[in-house]
């Protein structure tokens, strides 16, 4: 029990009356563990009032510190999240730039491989159109491809040029892939169904969205740009003209 002393009276209080900063007088003895065992603890009521007032002033300060620490932790978490988002955006941007560079390189290589058309005579040409996001050859174009293949009979040193294109609808990477698959599918028709030897067919060219033949501002223009152009070429030196 705690026994505060006033000028006119004494009052017994519980242990909960002890608060930080309270000046007390302790009487007791030491036990076998050399620990002080209090018999009585006394203090003045005025000292208790002062200690309680001090404690009342300290508590809000501690609460403010804890609140500030929580705010700092929250801000740090928000900064980490922002940094993660920034890194993710930078990665997407880098991947897009890399894909664009690959597409440009592929188109450049295809143009170089095919060479300038000015060095060749064009003996025949067929354009195959495709639907949006489609690589399927519609039946109406297969007779045209067969007729083109039949024209090379008896032609010396001919080559078949197959170039695939796409409209600008969708991402550059997707359009590059679509143009490649369209050219490959037409090449397969020429080789498997029309009996054109692969030795006479240039590697299919994936031209992506290059060399647009119509503006993509209308659906009709988009339809014209989703195409594969097949040409029969003969070197002018071989043809003698």
Same domain, 228 and 129: yes
Is 102 within the bounds of a domain?
no
Q: What is the model's pLDDT at position 114? A: 47
Confidence of residue 241 (pLDDT cuts 50, 70, 90): low
**CA 95: distance to chain centroid?**
8
Is 129 within the bounds of a domain?
yes
Same domain, 127 and 230: yes
How do strand 120-129 and strand 158-164 relate by DSSP bridges?
Answer: unpaired
Is 104 within the bounds of a domain?
no
Tally the domains of the chain: 2
Is 96 within the bounds of a domain?
no
Average pLDDT estimate for 95-117: 59
Q: What is the model's pLDDT at position 2? A: 47
pTM to 2 decimals? Answer: 0.52
Q: Which residues contact 39 (CB under 8 A, 6 or more apart)?
A: 27, 28, 29
Same domain, 215 and 129: yes
Domain of residue 122, CATH code = 3.30.1330.60
Same domain, 231 and 121: yes
pLDDT over threshold 80, residue 133: yes
Same domain, 128 and 230: yes
Same domain, 48 and 133: no
Is 109 within the bounds of a domain?
no
pLDDT over threshold 90, residue 147: yes
**Which residues partner with 56 through β-bridges?**
none
- Looking at every residue in the chain, the average pLDDT score rounds to 78
Q: Percent of the chain, pLDDT > 90?
A: 31
CB atoms under 10 Å from CB of 128, counted, come to 23
Same domain, 39 and 120: no
What's the rounded Cα separation, in Å, for the pair 207 and 215? 17
pLDDT over threshold 50, residue 62: yes
Is 67 within the bounds of a domain?
no
Is 211 within the bounds of a domain?
yes
Query: To which H or E segment does residue 227 belong?
Result: strand 227-235
Same domain, 212 and 123: yes
Q: What is the model's pLDDT at position 106? A: 58
163 exposed, middle or buried (CB, 10 Å; 0-12, 13-18, 19+)?
Answer: buried
Higher model confidence: residue 68 or residue 198? 198
Residue 11's domain spans which residues? 2-53
Residue ending a domain, choose from 53, 74, 95: 53
143-150 contacts, C-beta under 8 A, 24 or more apart = 145/186, 145/189, 145/190, 145/193, 145/194, 145/230, 146/193, 146/194, 148/124, 148/194, 148/230, 148/232, 149/190, 149/194, 149/195, 149/196, 150/194
Same domain, 131 and 42: no
pLDDT over threshold 50, residue 8: no
Is 86 within the bounds of a domain?
no
Q: What is the model's pLDDT at position 150? A: 93
**Which residues partner with 69 through β-bridges?**
none
Residue 63 has which token pair?
């609460």
Q: What is the model's pLDDT at position 24? A: 63
Same domain, 39 and 155: no
């Amino acid at each position: 029990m705690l026994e505060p002393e006033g000028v006119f009276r004494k009052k017994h209080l519980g242990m909960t009356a002890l608060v930080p900063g309270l000046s007390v007088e302790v009487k007791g003895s030491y036990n076998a563990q050399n620990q002080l065992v209090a018999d009585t603890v006394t203090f003045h009521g005025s000292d208790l009032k002062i200690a309680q007032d001090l404690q009342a002033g300290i508590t809000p300060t501690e609460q403010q510190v804890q609140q500030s620490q929580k705010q700092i932790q929250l801000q740090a978490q928000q900064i980490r999240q922002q940094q993660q988002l920034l890194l993710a955006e930078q990665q997407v941007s880098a991947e897009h730039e890399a894909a664009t560079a690959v597409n440009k390189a592929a188109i450049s290589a295809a143009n170089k491989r095919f060479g300038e058309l000015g060095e060749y005579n064009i003996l025949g040409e067929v354009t195959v159109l495709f639907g949006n996001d489609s690589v399927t050859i519609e039946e109406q174009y297969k007779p045209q491809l067969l007729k083109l293949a039949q024209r090379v009979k008896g032609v010396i040193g001919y080559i078949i040029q197959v170039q695939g294109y796409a409209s600008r609808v969708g991402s550059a990477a997707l359009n590059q892939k679509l143009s490649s698959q369209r050219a490959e599918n037409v090449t397969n028709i020429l080789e498997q169904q029309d009996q054109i030897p692969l030795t006479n067919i240039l590697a299919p060219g994936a031209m992506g969205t290059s060399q647009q033949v119509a503006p993509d501002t209308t659906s009709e223009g988009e339809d014209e740009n989703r195409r594969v152009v097949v040409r029969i070429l003969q070197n002018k030196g071989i043809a003698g003209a």
